[in-house]
Structure 1
Amino acid sequence: MIKNEKQYEYSQECARKFEYSIKMLDQDEALKNKDPDGWQLSRDVKQSHLRALQAEIAEYERLINCDNSQPIKIKVESLNKLPDALIKARIAAKMSQEELADLLGIDQQRVQQYEDTDYQCASFVEILEVSTALGVEFETAVMHVDFAEIEAVKQSVVKWREKKMNMATKTS
């Protein structure tokens, strides 16, 4: 995800380089004839990276160019994606990290830390404060509780603890 103008410019530069690389690869008839599968794989990988970059660039441009007289909708696929949505909301509001920090009454470095770590360093209360400052409201929220996933996590924890205990026993 592109979070600022510097990353936006860098992403545009990378996209241009991928476009050029694909163009050069398309003109390399010797490689295409010598190793068609390798050539195609190389082209597909570069094309995939280019499409991903172009999608990120388009999303960033949508955010920076949105009409602030109308609310914007930002889809949140899961709770894990909430940090991205908060960053997108700040970008769409054309608000700098410094302006958000001022609204929150905290240092700009703290907001930068939030975004650099995708809000992993923020408490739930801090996330709520940021949401409020950005005017973020949920229209609908549906949670899907996957009991099979819960059971899988439990099993993983049990295995991890057993492994940890075995290692502790061996070193004693």
Structure 2
Amino acid sequence: MITNDRQYKITKARRDDFRSALDLLSGQQPENVHPRIFKAHQDAIAAQIEELFIQIKEYENLKAGNILVSEIRNLKDLPLALIKARIANGLTQLQMAENLGMKMQQIQRYEAEEYASASLKTLLKIADQLQLRINGSVQIRPVDAPEFLDLKKYPFKQMFERNWFGNFGISSVNEAVKDSPALIRQLFDTAGLSTFKYSFNKRSLRKGSNINEYALNAWYARVLIKAKDQCLGRVFSRETISIDWLKGLIKLSQLDDGPKLAGQYIKDAGIRFIIEPSLEGTLLDGAALLMEDFSPVIALTLRHDRLDNFWFVLLHEIAHIMLHLNGELDVIFDDLDLTLDGIEKEADSYALNIMIPDETWRKSLARLSPTNETITNQAKKLTIHPALVAGRIRRETGNYYLFNDLIGLSQVRKQFINESK
């Protein structure tokens, strides 16, 4: 959201830059770029232009007095309502601060974090200053889905051993079992899934027939908790994921600590990157999801400790962020041992094409006559790790016993010992 005139000018300039970039992309498609990837970049820039246009129009309407903010009925809406009410009242951040006896920097910080650190007393004081009436209500009602609190539904011991309840003052598994309903409730509350009848209508699950939905939901909650605790230096923008950015990412595969560096590379782009091993009964490789503020998250389980698998899963989840997490889907869980159509086939194609462009692969000697030598030579030409070439051959042939010496066995988990705790 735009909160002041400086941000307004910057946002308009960014919108104009994106328009110019989109005009440039309207020309001929670059060589060695998959049409779906090229179209995804065009759509991403167009979506960013639309988003900036909405922000600009909202700020202009607020300043012009075309939007009236006088009452809220949901306390979750209070932070944004305070910002909008200030703008609608014609107050700058400096004027607001002076009226409240605060420093302007304090108001700037409050609005930048959407009043996350402000006390209730401060929120009410600001609302009163802006003549904003709060008409919210609090309802306390019993949980009507008791099965969510049944520890037998979860791999509870495994969750305890991973210290998922470490912040709740529980020292032994026996003590945890006694307090299991409270601990399970607290896990979901901390994740922001406060209702145990949480709707998963906006999710997609690539899975086999047998899966413990309760374990899956618990894993999802754990990922959300870790994502909330991860502070990034920038806000994600879709235009960041350019073709050059993707090439820079995949080149990291050549390095011994490539997976570790890739995690930081992802976070530097404004995408939260989480390592969380799967729970018993889930068979997950990873997930792509959106937080409440629509910030993207990539979560990997490292179920298969191989370099080829790490890079394929990572790029698969990036594909979901670019192509499929669009408001209709908030989370996509993946078991990549399965072969499916639809969005999963699209994400597979995206990932494979980023690692090795389709046109290159069709003519590749490594594909036509796969040997250690041809695989290594192809990897050098593409400036990627041989594991990615060997992994594609194994995937296409369905023979996962081939080239075990090239796929980077046991080279990934050891790089994420701290992150997986």
- TM-score normalised by structure 1 residue count: 0.74
Distance in 2 (alpha carbons) for counterparts of 1:78 and 1:118: 15
1:111 aligns with 2:107: yes
CA deviation map 1:36-86 (0-9, x unaligned): 22221111111111111111111111111116xxx8137868533321110
Structure 1 gaps, min length 5: 167-172
Distance in 2 (alpha carbons) for counterparts of 1:39 and 1:77: 44
Distance in 2 (alpha carbons) for counterparts of 1:35 and 1:114: 44
Q: Who is 1:41 aligned against?
A: 40
Q: Percent same amino acid among aligned pairs?
A: 26
CA deviation map 1:131-151 (0-9, x unaligned): 00011114x5466778479x6
Q: Who is 1:19 aligned against?
A: 19
1:99 aligns with 2:99: no
2:97 and 2:103 in contact (8 A); partners too? yes
Flag the 1:163–1:104 CA change in 2: closer, same or farther, 3 A.
Answer: closer
Q: Who is 1:54 aligned against?
A: 53
Letter in 2 for 1:130: I
Letter in 2 for 1:3: T
Greater displacement, 112-121 / 11-20: 112-121
Q: Who is 2:76 aligned against?
A: 80
Distance in 2 (alpha carbons) for counterparts of 1:80 and 1:148: 23
1:2 and 1:57 in contact (8 A); partners too? yes
Q: What SS does the corresponding residue of 2:30 show, helix, strand or coil?
A: helix
1:11 and 1:53 in contact (8 A); partners too? yes
Which of the two has greater helix per residue?
Answer: 1
Letter in 2 for 1:160: W
Flag the 1:7–1:148 CA change in 2: closer, same or farther, 3 A.
Answer: farther
Q: What SS does the corresponding residue of 1:7 show, helix, strand or coil?
A: helix
Letter in 1 for 2:62: L
What is the aligned counterpart of 1:131 among 99, 105, 127?
127
Distance in 2 (alpha carbons) for counterparts of 1:63 and 1:118: 17
Flag the 1:30–1:110 CA change in 2: closer, same or farther, 3 A.
Answer: closer
2:93 and 2:107 in contact (8 A); partners too? yes
Distance in 2 (alpha carbons) for counterparts of 1:36 and 1:89: 45
Cα offset, 1:35, TM superposition: 3.4
2:3 and 2:83 in contact (8 A); partners too? yes
CA deviation map 1:7-46 (0-9, x unaligned): 111111111111111111112x243996322221111111
Q: Who is 1:170 aligned against?
A: none
Flag the 1:50–1:144 CA change in 2: closer, same or farther, 3 A.
Answer: farther
2:69 and 2:81 in contact (8 A); partners too? no
Structure 2 gaps, min length 5: 173-421
Letter in 1 for 2:47: S
What is the aligned counterpart of 1:161 among 165, 188, 197?
165
Distance in 2 (alpha carbons) for counterparts of 1:30 and 1:128: 55
Letter in 1 for 2:20: Y
Distance in 1 (alpha carbons) for counterparts of 2:164 and 2:81: 33
Cα offset, 1:95, TM superposition: 0.6
Distance in 1 (alpha carbons) for counterparts of 2:144 and 2:42: 39
1:83 and 1:118 in contact (8 A); partners too? yes
- Give the RMSD, CA atoms, in angstroms: 3.4
2:79 and 2:115 in contact (8 A); partners too? yes
Flag the 1:41–1:113 CA change in 2: closer, same or farther, 3 A.
Answer: closer
- TM-score normalised by structure 2 residue count: 0.33
Distance in 2 (alpha carbons) for counterparts of 1:46 and 1:75: 35
1:122 aligns with 2:122: no
Distance in 1 (alpha carbons) for counterparts of 2:38 and 2:140: 45
Higher relative contact order (CA 8 A, sep 6+): 1
Which of the two has greater strand per residue?
Answer: 2
CA deviation map 1:80-122 (0-9, x unaligned): 3321110111111111222222222233332223223221221
Q: Who is 1:2 aligned against?
A: 2
Distance in 2 (alpha carbons) for counterparts of 1:47 and 1:77: 34
1:89 aligns with 2:85: yes
Cα offset, 1:6, TM superposition: 1.0
